[in-house]
Amino acid sequence: MGAVFALITVVAFVLVVYLGVGVAGLHFLFGVIIPYVAFFTFLIGMIYRVIEWARSPVPFRIVTTCGQQKSLSWVKRNPLESPYNNFEVALRMFLEVVFFRSLFRNLKAEIKGRNLIYGSYKWLWLFAILFHYSFFIILLRHFRFFAYPVPKVIDGLNQLDAFLHIGLPHFYITDALILAGLTFLFVRRLADPKLRYISLASDYLPLFMIYGLVISGILMRHFFKVDVVGVKELTMSLVHFSPKVPQGIGTIFFIHLFFISALMAYFPFSKLVHMLGVFLSPTRNLANNSRAKRHINPWNQPAKFKTYCEWQEIFYEQLVESGQPIDEDCPQVKERKKAEGAE
């Protein structure tokens, strides 16, 4: 159900742009207004999300320790899995964010009998890496449309990505990889009953939007070629805030542009915020040093509890009879003594 809804939404997106640009000719709306609105929604929305998270304090140091703590000097500890200071935390976060350490955790392929065990986990990690890195590289590549002159690094990346020299223009490797990653992530959701059970429309929608984005991009580069000079003219004008839509770019470009706009606008309201949220996760981004350094909880109130002296009063007889010392410093005992003396 969720997948169907997501699919319909994405098809609707294509239709809207087709009708809007191809038929009604609303170039300015789709080329300028929607991208701007989407971009600022993304920017403001993400900032807002982070501020919202940051406004809630971290009352306790709830690190999930995955390795030996620092204790006795001769015990070999694990600074990456049980960091003791901020530097080690940074390393742990680096592994987490850059290499998806936790997803990798199960990666221990073993052949037992005829079967390879832990296979699925390895795949999830691998395809998640493929997907995220391809997306990242593709994003970087696109900066050549937003900069003049194109920085050397971006140019180099571009050439590297196309180094197979297949087709003209050259086919990008990342395009293939991101499709592979997306397909795995999608098929997995359908094929594994556990995942099908937990998957929502909001899990399929981003996948389909990115599908749409990638496929429209590939189509535009290799099949329905668009006027690249015109495109760059448009993107540069957007960058300089003097928007101008040149004639004859081709509808497919607007579909591509609409998908990225939709994705950007959707981003802050969806699970995609994990991109920034991961940095704030208190089980990962804190040091496991809570016995060495006091962690402050801003809303901590002093505890209300029964003090020893109050308790001693209740169990006075039992304490005396069983020969346990009575604390004479307790005001209650002093009063008791006074009362006894008065008798």
Partner 1 sequence: MAKLPKPEELFDSIDWTPPETDWMDTPVEFQPGRWCYPAKKKVVEDLGFPNPREWSPADEDWKIPSNWREIVLEGMKERLEKYRSFKLFMDICVRCGACADKCHYFLGSGDPKNMPVLRAELMRSIYKGEFTLPGKIFGRLAGARKLTEEVIKEWFYYYYQCSECRRCSVFCPYGIDTCEVTMMGRELLHLLGININWILEPVRNCVYIGNHLGLQPHTVKENIEYLCWDIEEVTGLKIQPSFNRKGAEILFVAPSGDYFADPGIYTFMGYLVLFEYLGLDYTLSTYASEGGNFGLFTSHEMMQKINAKIYHEAERLGVKFIIGGECGHMWRVKHQYMDTVNGPAPSNLEVPKSPITGTVFEHAKSTKMIHICEFTADLIAHGKLELDPSRNDKYVVTFHDSCNPSRGMGFFEEPRFILKHVCNNFYDMPENTIREKTFCCGSGSGLNTDEFMDMRMRGGLPRANAVEYVHKKHGVNMLACICAIDRAALSTLMQYWVPEVGVCGVHELVANALVFPDEKTGKKKRTLDLRQQPLKPEDEENV
Partner 2 sequence: MSLRELLTEKRDDILQEWYKAILDTYPKEAAAFLRRNRDRFENPVGQRILEGIEGLLDEILGDFDEKRIKYFTDRVLRVRAVQDFNPSVATGYILALKKAIREVIEDDLSPELWSEFLDLLDKIDEIALYGFDIYMACRERLYHLKVEEWKKRVFLLLKRANFIFDEREGSLPQQ
Where in 24-122 does DSSP place strands (E)?
Answer: 110-112, 115-117
Instruction: Confirm or reject binding of residue 283 to partner 2 (CB under 8 A).
Output: no
Confirm if 90 and 100 have CB atoms less than 8 A apart: no
Q: Does 310 bind partner 2 (CB under 8 A)?
A: no
CB atoms within 10 A of CB 302: 5
Q: Determine, following the binding rule CB under 8 A, whether residue 319 of this chain makes contact with partner 1.
A: yes
Give the end-to-end CA distance of the chain in Å, rounded to a whole number. 84
Q: Is 167 left (phi over 0), alpha (psi -120 to 50) or beta?
A: left
Give the Cβ contact number of residue 185 at 10 Å. Answer: 20
Question: What are 163's two structure tokens?
Answer: 């180094």
Q: Does 109 bind partner 2 (CB under 8 A)?
A: no
Q: Return the residue of 56, 113, 165, 298 that touches partner 2, per CB under 8 A.
A: 113
Query: Which CB sits closer to partner 1, 85 or 237?
Result: 85
Q: Classify the phi-psi angles of 248: left when phi > 0, otherwise alpha if psi is within -120 to 50, otherwise beta.
A: left
Q: In the set 41, 85, 183, 202, which binds partner 1 (CB under 8 A)? A: 202
Query: Is residue 56 at the binding interface for partner 1, with CB under 8 A as the rule?
Result: yes
CB of 121 to partner 2, least distance (A): 10
The binding track of 68-107 with respect to partner 1, each residue x by CB under 8 A or -, is xxxxx-xxxxx--xx-x-----------x---x-xx-xx-
Among 115, 242, 318, 322, the residue binding partner 2 under the rule CB under 8 A is 115
**Structure tokens belonging to residue 57:** 């304090």
Which string of x and - marks every residue 163-182 that binds partner 1 (by CB under 8 A)? --------------------
Contact residues toward partner 2 (CB under 8 A) are: 112-113, 115, 117-118, 120, 192-194, 196-197
